Each structure stands twice: as C-alpha cells, then as structure tokens.
Chain A
Amino acid sequence: MLDFIIILPLLVVGAGAIALMLLASMENLSEGSTALVSIGIFAFAFAVQLMVSVSGNVAPYETAFSGMLTASTFTKVAGLIILACGLFSCMIAQTYFTQNKFSSPEFYSLMMFAASGMLLLTMAAELITLFISLEIMSLAIYVLVGYDRSRIKRSEAVLKYLMLGAFAGAFFTMGAALIYGGAGSTRFALISKYLATNSFLESPVLVAGTLLVIVAFLFKVAAFPFHAWVVDVYDGAPLPVTGFMATGVKTAIFAVFANFIVLDNGMKGVWVDYLFYVAVFTMFAGNLIAIGQNNLKRMLAASGIVHSGYLIIALVAVGTENFTGGVIIFYLAAYAAATLGVFTALAYLGGTDERRDSFDDFKGLAKVRPYTAAAITIFMLSMAGIPPTAGFMGKFYIITDAIRADQMLLAVLGIVSSILSMWYYLRLVIMMYFKEPEESFEVSGVSLAPVGTMILAVSVFAIGFYPVFL
C-alpha cells in the first residue's frame, strides 16, 4: 500500500494526461479551459506530493515495488520542482497560445505525460524502469518540440533532438545491458551490493556500462562534449516547451544521475576525476557560446549548459555516505524559478510568432513596463548568482560543498565562470534599463503568465532566504 502512496502524484498526473487525451476528441473543448484544467491537475498533484509524507531522510535505497523505485526527501522535492515546472509551463502555454495559434488539447496532455515520465525518473532505482521513464519523458518532449508543424525551424529542432536523443537512448540501453552482464542485476540496490564486495575497476564490463549510462545522462543535461544540440533545439521549440525542457528535464535527469552516481564509492571515485573536466569544460564552453548569442532563447539555452556545469560540480562534491542531495536540489529549484520566470515574462512579451526574441527587442522595457523589467532583472541576477537571490545561495552551497570535498580548484573555476556569465545576463539588463524604448510593448490577450512572473520573482527571494530543502 505504501508503494502506491509514493507514486500517488505520478498517478494523478498520468490519469490526468490520459483523461485529457480522451477529452480531446470532443469538438467543443476550448483551448483556454484545457489549460486551466491542466494547471489544476498539476496544482493538485503538487499538493498530493507535498502531503505524501516520506517523512525524514529515507535512506537512498529504501525501496518500493520490489526495489524498482526509491523514495526519499530528495526524490520528493525533485518531484515538487517538476510539478511546479509543469504548472508554470502550463501558465506559459496558456498565455502563449493567446498569441500563437497551433494549440490543441493534446498539447497539455503531452506535457503531463512528460511530467509523469520525469516523476518516475526521479524515483527510478532500476535500470529498466529508468529506461522506460526516460523514454516516456523523451517521446512526449520530442512531439512537443515539433508541435508547430508549419514552421521549418521547429522541424529542424525536432529532427536534431530526435536523432541525437535516440543515440543517447541507445547508449543507455547498451550500458544497462553491460551493467546487467557485469553485476548480474539491474536493480541499484543489488548493483551497489555487488560493488561493495567486488572492486569496480576489475570488471571492464561494468566500467564500460557505467560509462555509457553516464554519457546518456550527460547528453540529456547538455554537458560538454554533448552540448551541441541544445542551442538549436531550445531555440526551435515553442516557448512553453523550451521552458519545460530547460527546467523539468534537467531536474529529473540530475535527480536520477545523483541517485546513480552514489551507488558505490569506488565507482564514483573513478568517474569523479572525469566529471571534474566535464564540469570545467561545460561551464566554459557554455559561457563562450552564450556570450556570442543575440537571441534571448539561444542565450538561455547556452546558459543552461553553464548551469549544468555547476550541477556537475555539485555531483563531484557529493558524498556517497548519507547522501541527501540538498545542494543539488536547492540549485535546481533556484535555477527552475529563475528560468521559468524569464519564460513566463517572454510568454506575454514575445508577441505573435515569438516576434520579440533578441536582446535588441527589449530596449527600454523598464520605462514602459517597469514591473516586468524589474522581475526579469531579478531572474537574470539570480541566474548570474548575485546576492541576495536564490541563485547566489545555490552557487554558495555548491562552492562550499566543493571546498569541503577538497575541490578548491573546481570552486575557484566555478566562481570565475559565474563572473564571465555576468556579461550576457547584464546585457539584457542594460538593454532594458539603459536604452530608450522604441516601441510600446503592446500585448494582446488576457493571460495568466504575468501572475506567474510575479509569483516566481517573489519565490526567487523566498527560496534564497528560507532554504527549506536543505
């Protein structure tokens, strides 16, 4: 019975998705009401997740469903973040579709399918479950990316994402097979037990298997050297999908990545040396790409690479003993709040067909819409990691962790990279505040997104000052 309580939020979202899919066959279902219904479902699932008390720090491999799933405070909060991302993405979508006309009820249904895949992913403690949930999430996202069939840019994005994503999925399957061959089980708990008695490096099959699995994860979070797809795909995807991908997918993958990497100290020790370089190159490659962008969505995509780099620092510093993942989850929450905040603002500022998408399009926004500009500034500062925002606290915890784990060099490089990133975040602030407006930023349609922007702007500070996740 307890097993089902753990996946209750997942069931809510999944049932919602299926119900919505069925309802979509009805002719007179309006787009606006679908959005409201799906926001309601996400909110309900969020409340359920909040109430499902997996109280205290359940050990990582306290298991459910015969060891296929694991539940802990870590997975619970990751689930909360994912559901909140879904909720705000629906708000974005609702507003977005008042100005862009390619919506249908299935859009929201797919969002919920993706969310249920993500929820399962955070809890997966078995390689096959992991693969299934990864694919539930990915397939839904592939469709969402290419939802606007009429535009060539979307088709390009979905092609790139699908091809490369399929490779990543294949890598993962191969890796899972090899691990099964080496350790004799696909369950994390049993793999961990096997590794505790046998040395990791003695089994080349296991080394190759874990390598392939890690490569698949690194691909999904767009870490160097698997980051090349992300800019085009984020740019090509419709705005609400980009927001959801950037935050929800990243949260889910990092949750399962963390659960996987703490399997065994010996295994982590081997990969940490490489993850060190991955983290450094991810941060700096991301920065270099972001500095060159003129398009806001592309810049956010590239900055997402940089944030993946910080999260990998957190993974490097994570201890296998008494793993709580608080630092990772805090950073994910801070990142999600800031990123979705920008996307909610873009949802109503973007205009028809995402007309306003480059830095120059936001000239003088502060004069015309001072509150929105202030909110965007808060999000940018949070991403850049300026106190007293949540983004700063997130970086601060990561760097503290890194220094505690004797990774002084990584900590310093992390801070240097955050200084570099200041350049492109501030650029938008400069455009909004220091230039004269050239247009009046008229927006059409009534929308929920401004509400979302304000909520997220407040939560950027709230998360920073009351770090309940830690």
Chain B
Amino acid sequence: MDQLLINPGPPLLSILIFLPLAGALFLLLVNNENFARYWTLAVTGIAALLSLPILTGFDRGSAQFQFVEKHAWIETLNINYVVGVDGISLLLLLMTTFIMPFCVLASWTYIKTRVQSFMICLLIMESAMVGVFVALDFVLFYILWEAMLIPMYLLIGIWGGPRKIYASIKFFLYTLAGSVLLLVGIIWLYITNNYSFFIPDMMWQHYSVTAQVLLFLAFFLAFAIKVPMFPFHTWLPAAHVEAPTAGSVILASILLKMGTYGFLRFALPMTPEATVMMMPYVLGLSIAGIIYGGFTALAQSDMKKLIAYSSVGHMGFVTLGIFVLNQQGIEGAILQMINHGVTTGALFLCVGMIYERTHSRELLSATGVGQYMPVFVTFLGFFSLSSFGFPGTNSFVGEFMILAGTFEYSIPLALAAIPGAVLAAAYMLRMLQKVVWGGTDNPDQSWLTDLNVREIVTLTPFLIFVFWIGLSPQHFLDLMQTSVTNLLDNFTAYSSQYMAAADLIVR
C-alpha cells in the first residue's frame, strides 16, 4: 500500500464520481426541459469547480496515487472501492470535468426532443468517465469502463443522425467485444496476485513471458479498439458522424483517451516484457494509422468524417509517443491526449454549430461562410491551425515532443511519421479554405447568423487552452513529470535486458 497517499480531507474523488450520478437520479423526477438544462449545467459546473482543489492540492513531487479513498465493497472476493489520481490521470480527470459543462452548452438548442433523458445520459457518462480515470480496483475499473457504453449507445441511438442505429450498434458491439478478453485477463491477474484486484499491486510483478504476452494481447485488443488504432478504427467514423455534437465531443475528447490511458496504466506496468516484445508492431500500426488517417481525411466531403479520420491520425501520434518508451515520447503523448481533447472537441463543436444552421455536414454546403460568420471562422481557423500542429498552438508542442522522442528511438520511424503532419496540414487547410472562402459557386449563405453569446462562451475556453498549452506547456508537463519518470524508471529497471535485446532487433 506504499503507492497510496490516503486523502485526509473531504472525499473529493468520490464526490466527483457520485455528484453527477445523483444529479441524474434527481432529473428522473423532473418534467421540465429548461430546468433540466440549467440543472445539468449547474451539476457539471460544480463538478468542474470541485476538481480544482485536486489540482491545487496535488503534490507534483510524488509519483504516488493521491487523494486516495479506500472502502471495502465485496469482501468475499476482496473487491474494494479504491480511487486515486497520479500524474498520468490527473490531467485527463480535469479535462473530463471541464469539458462536460461545454457539452451541455453545446446541446442547449441542438437537442430538442427528450431533453431530460439526454441530460441524464450525459451525467451518467460523466460519472463513469471520471470513475474510469481514478479507479484503482480492477473490478471497479471494468464496471465503469463497460457501464459507459450504455449512455453513449443511447446518445448516438436516440439523438443521432440518419444512420444512428447502425452506428450505435457498431459502436456498442465493437467496444464490448474488445473488452471480453480484458475481463479474462483481469480475473487471471486476480488469481495470480493472491486474490487481489488492487491495481498498483499488479504492476511490476514477474509474470511469465507467455502470460505477459497473452495479457498484453488482451489489453491491446480492448484498448486499441477504444483508441482506435488502425485497423480497429472502423467504428469511429460511423459513431462520430451519427452522434449529436455533445456525443462527438465526449467520444473524441474523453472516450478515445481511455484507450491510451489504459496502455499507460495497465499494459506498460503489468506486462513490461511483452510491451518490449510487441513494441515494433504497435509502432508500425501507429505509423499506419497516422498515414492512413491523413489520407482518408483528405478525401472526405463530410466535415465530421474528416475530423473523425483526423482523430485516427492524431491518436496514432499518441500511441507512437507511448510506445517509443522514453520520457519525451510519453510526456508528449499525455500532453497530446489533452491537446487532441481540446482541439478536436472544439472542432466538433464548430461543425455542430454549422450543422445547427444549415442542417448539413457536407463541406460543399458550408462553403464560403466566412463572409457572413466572421467570428465563427476565426475560431475555426485557430482550431484548424492547432489541429495540424501550427507552432504556437498546443498540438505543436505535443507532436514536437512525440517526434523528438521518436527520433531518439529510431530515425527511420520518425521520418515515417513526418508525412502525417504534412497530411494534417493538407486536409485541415483544405477544409478551412472551403469553409472560409469557397469558390465561385458558393451557395447563398447570406441568411446565416454569426455565433451568439452562448456559442462564443462555449468556444472561448477551448481557445484559451489552445494557446495556454501552446505557449507555456511547462505548467502542464510539471504535473505529470514525476509520474512519468517513475514509470520509466520502473520500466527500465524491470526490463533492461529485454530492452537491449529489442534494440538489437530494431537496428
């Protein structure tokens, strides 16, 4: 238990998990749409504010889990309710709590039917997502990880676009099938670790290489589908395109991060030898994802699809950063997870705003709006620049660090990833050019109104973070540095001999 720093103060993490759930239960009794909107905004807003003390109280110099709460739950099977944050999960937790109020704002007028049910789904999502990032008991983690699927499934299936049923089922079955073997892996770990589901105790144990490889494959299937890594990405465009704006934002900003978070939290510490063995293949898939995502995004005429495929490319960078297994790579990857959450979330919000006006996501029907919606295209411009890593914006820092880490690991690999960055510029500029200026045959857009105050309020914080992370990333890197260093120290100490062997293979 020396990995834990028990929380002496108020149980902040539990409040963050259960406050939205309580809010959702209360909404069950309410039959007033406007009240539901304000109520949900208030609950998510309070949750966001309550997560601030975690940031200020977080001890940056410690790699232990902090704000830990531990209660016995199912004693016969030694299942406990344990939650805690460390440097890896802290930023993801904060991003979750801070994005949710803006999802509510983005759905303010977008959702017109069954508003209460929608808000209930959002609140349950928030509970489960916060829980996934802070759970330190594997059963608790798995329950929340799976429980998340149901509200998301309903979000896509009820309030989605024309092919919503196809998209929602594909999303549900794909992600569910992925976590099947995860459950078997969890139970195997439980039995091997003296009947304990406590996650930190499972790390850095000497499991046999065969067991590690099988475990890694189980983890990989679950997490790679969630990320999604090429070639497991096919559910993503369908789900993104059909989901309502808030659903797309949650998917892109938070759900996808759970896959990469899973790699960092479970795959690396629990199966280090297998990680080293599998590293080349995962890196190869990451590169494939980067290039493939880029080319496919270039060919899209549907804006949501374009951004969805760009996510495949961006998440390819994240997995690349994680699996080069050095300080810069992993820190860059964590930062890039946040960046992608901010930037892509904002881009989906922008597309949603266009869609609310034109009721089309087609690039061709949104051409030339720059003249009539100057505020909107300003936001869109900055977010697009951020998306392809323009210097000064957040993604530049993240991608730079990942590429620096990759260069340190292998120069050919880094060179292979570079075209991804160029492609990103190509597809983003193509979209930006069409939306802002279009051509001589633009449809008549003169009836469009520019953003209202609510929409500006929704987008501004994202812009602030784009520049904050872009211009002074050290604030964010400080939070994770100790944990990442600790992770890598443990990793090298554990598997130095295997690292040497793997280096030989790569050269």
Residues of A near any B CB (own CB < 8 A) = 326, 366-367, 370, 381, 386-388, 392, 396-397, 399-400, 403-404, 408, 411-412, 415-416, 419, 422-423, 426, 430, 433-434, 467, 470
User: Can you list 21 A-B contacts (CB < 8 A)?
Assistant: A366-B117, A381-B150, A386-B146, A386-B149, A387-B142, A387-B145, A388-B143, A388-B144, A388-B147, A399-B184, A399-B187, A403-B188, A404-B191, A408-B188, A411-B184, A419-B180, A422-B172, A430-B165, A433-B158, A434-B157, A434-B158
| Chain B contacts for A411, CB-based, 8 A | 184, 187
Cβ–Cβ contact B139 & A396, under 8 A: yes
Give, as a whole number of angstroms, the nearest-CB distance from B142 to chain A. Answer: 7
Evaluate contact between B157 and A387: CB separation under 8 angstroms.
Answer: no
Is B146 a contact partner of A400 (Cβ separation < 8 A)?
no
Identity of the chain A residue whose Cβ is nearest the Cβ of B143 in the assembled complex: A387
Give every chain B residue within 8 A of A433 (Cβ-Cβ): 154, 157-158
Q: Is the CB of B77 within 8 A of A419?
A: no
Write the chain B residue with the least CB distance to A404: B191
Quick one: which of B163-190 are within 8 Å of A by CB?
164-165, 168-169, 172-173, 176-177, 180-181, 183-184, 187-188, 190
Contact in complex: A470, B176 (CB < 8 Å):
no
Q: How many whole Å from B43's CB to the nearest CB in chain A?
A: 20
**Extra A-B contacts (5), CB below 8 Å, given A403-B184, A434-B168:** A387-B144, A396-B183, A430-B165, A433-B157, A467-B76
- Pick the contact of A392: B146, B169, B173, B190 (CB < 8 A): B146
Q: Shortest distance in angstroms between A463's beta carbon and chain B's nearest beta carbon?
A: 12
Chain A residues lying within 8 Å of B177, measured Cβ to Cβ, are 419
Chain A residues whose C-beta falls within 8 Å of the C-beta of B173 in the assembled complex:
419, 422-423
Determine if A386 and B165 form an interchain contact, defined as CB atoms under 8 angstroms apart: no
Taking the closest CB of chain B, its distance from the CB of A217, in whole angstroms, is: 27
Task: Type the 1/0 row for B247-281, where 1 means its CB is closer than 8 Å to any CB of A.
Answer: 00000000000000000000000000000000000
* Minimal Cβ-Cβ distance residue in A for B160: A434
Complex interface: chain A residues within 8 A of B165 (CB) = 430, 434
Cross-interface CB contact of B191 among A387, A397, A403, A423, cutoff 8 Å: A403
* A167 to B238 alpha-carbon distance, docked (Å): 53
Q: For B73, give the chain A residue with the smallest CB separation.
A: A465
**Does B493 reach chain A (CB closer than 8 Å)?**
no
**Interface presence of B74 (CB below 8 A):** yes
Residue total for B at the interface (Cβ-Cβ under 8 A): 33
- CB of A422 within 8 A of CB of B176, answer yes
**Residues of chain B within 8 A of A367, CB atoms compared:** 114
Closest residue of chain A to B172, judged by CB? A426
A residues in contact with B145, CB < 8 Å: 387
CA distance in complex: A387, B182 (Å): 14
Convert B383-402 into 0s and 1s, putting 1 for each residue whose CB lies closer than 8 angstroms to a CB of A.
Answer: 00000000000000000000
Given A387-B142, A419-B176, CB of A400 within 8 Å of CB of B184: no
Q: Are A386 and B184 in contact (CB under 8 A)?
A: no
Docked pose: A412 CA to B185 CA in angstroms: 10
- What CA separation (Å) do A370 and B169 show in the bound complex? 21
Least CB distance, B62 to chain A, in whole angstroms: 32
A370-B158 Cα distance, complex, nearest whole Å: 13
Closest 8 CB pairs of A and B: A387-B143, A387-B146, A470-B76, A415-B180, A387-B147, A403-B187, A434-B157, A388-B143
Q: In angstroms, how far is the closest chain B Cβ from the Cβ of A388?
A: 5
User: What B residues does A434 contact at CB under 8 A?
Assistant: 157-158, 164-165, 168
Which residues on the A side are within 8 Å of B169 (C-beta)?
Answer: 426, 430
Say yes or no: A408-B184 contact (C-beta < 8 A), given A433-B157, A470-B76.
yes
Query: Which residues of A lie under 8 Å from residue B146 when comparing CB positions?
Result: 386-387, 392
Interface residues of B in 115-159 (CB under 8 A from A): 117, 139, 142-147, 149-150, 154, 157-158
Neighbouring A residues of B149 by C-beta, 8 Å:
386
* Contact residues in B for A419 (Cβ distance below 8 Å): 173, 176-177, 180
Q: Which of A399, A412, A433, A470 has the most CB of B within 10 A?
A: A433
Q: Closest approach, in angstroms, between the C-beta of A414 and any C-beta of chain B?
A: 10
Question: In the complex, A369 Cα to B466 Cα: how many Å?
Answer: 45
Minimum CB–CB distance for A303 against chain B, Å: 17
* A239 CA to B180 CA, complexed, in Å: 34
Chain B residue at smallest Cβ distance from A378: B150
Give the residues in chain B near A388, CB-CB below 8 Å: 143-144, 147
In the complex, are the beta carbons of A416 and B180 less than 8 A apart?
A: yes
Bound-complex Cα distance A397 to B74 (A): 11
A387 to B168, CA, bound (A): 18
Is the CB–CB distance between A397 and B180 below 8 Å? no
Least Cβ–Cβ distance between B101 and chain A, in angstroms = 25
**A52–chain B nearest beta-carbon distance, Å:** 23
Contacts of B150 in A (CB 8 A): 381, 386
Which residues on A sit within 8 Å (CB–CB) of B181? 412, 415
CB distance from A251 to the nearest CB of B (A): 21
Q: Specify which chain A residues have a CB less than 8 angstroms from the CB of B77 in the assembled complex.
A: 397, 400, 470
A426 CA / B176 CA spacing, docked (Å): 13
- Chain A residues, CB < 8 A from B172: 422, 426
Chain B residues whose C-beta falls within 8 Å of the C-beta of A370 in the assembled complex: 117
| Per-position binary interface string of chain B over residues 89-130, scored 1 when its CB falls under 8 Å from any chain A CB and 0 otherwise | 000000000000000000000000010010000000000000
Are B74 and A415 closer than 8 Å at their CB atoms?
Answer: no
Cα-based distance from A312 to B497 in the complex (angstroms):
46
Residues of chain A within 8 A (CB-CB) of B142 are: 387
